[in-house]
């Protein structure tokens, strides 16, 4: 039984990190006219109400999108991202936050396709209401089963976002197994995998599996908003990118430096890591 609801966390520092890297990848793919197939395996509800009881209970968004919302000194990429959030919030009030499906939907051209998988019945129903578009296919389906069944798609250029809730501990073992198999079948795609940085360090075992997978070109990006030691709860946000786009390879360090400055819990408490887990 799934109990995780992203509404408690929407727009937090990890969402900002994940969605910004996603936008950077999309920006590069859009430079060519050729069709793109996007797959978002853990889609969530697509659009979040930051005035909901869930969001107001944690107020996590105030330490994420809330920190950038009214700034006028952002880099071009952060500005694009902020403007995207701005478009769904008429006026100066930050009320809605777009999930990854809405961010990807916003970038769709006529020739592109977006496939969304979401298992939770309530989240799936909301997703159907929030994202209606003939270019978008929405499945109430297990991410791992769907990923194997749907890859490789007929459109060869693509981007896959893997963003589990890690509420079941099997996610840490299933993810590398399923993603490595699918990435070997669809080797022309770019794969973006999100993971939490928690004191227990469970992500390390997952990274080891990718390191030993035989896949090449895997970039490791981590944003720490506070020190790992003596911390309770999530201290950072990690992303593994298989086949990263050229612009991300060039810009990742600078993007993460900017995010550290904007999102660290207190001055000089944050840091970032940009390195190849597996080089070319
Ligand atoms: N990607 C979304 C975004 O960035 O806006 C957030 C997704 S949230 C972190 C994870 C989602 O995965 C939840 O909505 C949860 O219901 C869903 N989920 C959990 N296990 C799943 C599974 N096995 N298959 C499909 N969806 C699953």
Q: Compute the distance between CA of residue 173 and CA of residue 182 in angstroms, rounded to an integer.
A: 15
Helix (H, G, I), strand (E, B) or coil at 194: strand
CATH number assigned to the domain with residue range 6-278, chosen from the 4 options 3.40.50.150, 3.90.1150.10, 3.30.930.10, 3.40.50.300: 3.40.50.150
Q: Is residue 230 predicted with pLDDT exceeding 90?
A: no
> What residues flank ligand 1, with Cβ below 6 Å?
2, 4, 6, 18, 40, 42-44, 99-100, 117-120, 123, 142-143, 163-165
Of 3 and 108, which is predicted with more confidence?
A: 108
Q: Is residue 45 predicted with pLDDT exceeding 80?
A: yes
Q: Which atom of ligand 1 is nearest to the CA of 10?
A: 5
Residue owning the nearest CA to atom 12 of ligand 1? 42
> Smallest Cα–Cα separation from 103: which of 42, 158, 22, 36?
22
Average pLDDT over residues 252-264: 98
Average pLDDT over residues 128-150: 97
In the residue annotation, 112 being an active-site residue is answered as no
Average pLDDT over residues 262-266: 96
Q: Supply the pLDDT for residue 90.
A: 83
Q: Is residue 182 predicted with pLDDT exceeding 80?
A: yes
Q: Supply the pLDDT for residue 153.
A: 98
pLDDT digits (tens, 9 = 90+) for 76-85: 999 999 999 9
Q: Which two tokens stand for residue 137?
A: 């296919």
Average pLDDT, the chain: 96
Average pLDDT over residues 180-194: 98
With pLDDT > 90 as the criterion, what percentage of the chain qualifies?
93
Q: Supply the pLDDT for residue 101.
A: 98
> Residue 229: which pLDDT band, with cuts at 50, 70 and 90?
confident
> Smallest Cα–Cα separation from 48: which of 9, 2, 87?
9
| Confidence (pTM) | 0.97
Helix (H, G, I), strand (E, B) or coil at 138: strand
CA torsion, ordered 130, 164, 144, 170, to nearest 10 deg:
-150
Q: Which atom of ligand 1 is nearest to the CA of 40?
A: 1
Q: Is residue 1 predicted with pLDDT exceeding 70?
A: no
Report whether 41 contacts 162 (CB < 8 A).
yes
């Amino acid at each position: 039984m799934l109990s995780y609801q992203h509404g408690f966390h929407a727009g937090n520092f990890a969402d900002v990190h994940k969605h910004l890297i996603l936008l950077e990848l999309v920006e590069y793919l859009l430079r060519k006219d050729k069709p793109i197939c996007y797959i978002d395996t853990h889609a969530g509800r697509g659009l979040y109400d930051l005035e909901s009881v869930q969001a107001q209970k944690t107020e996590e968004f105030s330490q994420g999108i809330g920190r950038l919302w009214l700034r006028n000194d952002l880099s071009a990429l952060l500005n694009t991202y902020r403007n995207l959030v701005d478009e769904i919030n008429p006026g100066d009030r930050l009320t809605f936050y777009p999930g990854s499906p809405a961010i990807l939907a916003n970038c769709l051209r006529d020739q592109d396709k977006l496939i969304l998988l979401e298992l939770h019945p309530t989240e799936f129903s909301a997703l159907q209401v929030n994202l209606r578009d003939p270019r978008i296919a929405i499945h109430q389906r297990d991410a791992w089963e769907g990923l194997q069944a749907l890859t490789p798609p007929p459109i060869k250029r693509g981007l896959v976002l893997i963003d589990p809730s890690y509420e079941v501990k099997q996610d840490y073992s299933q993810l590398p197994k399923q993603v490595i198999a699918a990435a070997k079948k669809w080797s022309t795609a770019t794969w973006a995998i999100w993971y939490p940085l928690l004191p227990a360090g469970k992500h390390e075992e997952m990274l080891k599996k990718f390191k030993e997978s035989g896949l090449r070109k895997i970039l490791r990006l981590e944003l720490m908003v506070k020190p790992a030691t003596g911390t309770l709860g999530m201290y950072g946000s990690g992303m593994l990118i298989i086949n990263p786009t050229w612009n991300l390879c060039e810009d990742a360090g600078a993007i993460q430096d900017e995010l550290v400055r904007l999102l660290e819990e207190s001055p000089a408490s944050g840091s970032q890591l940009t390195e190849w887990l597996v080089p070319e």
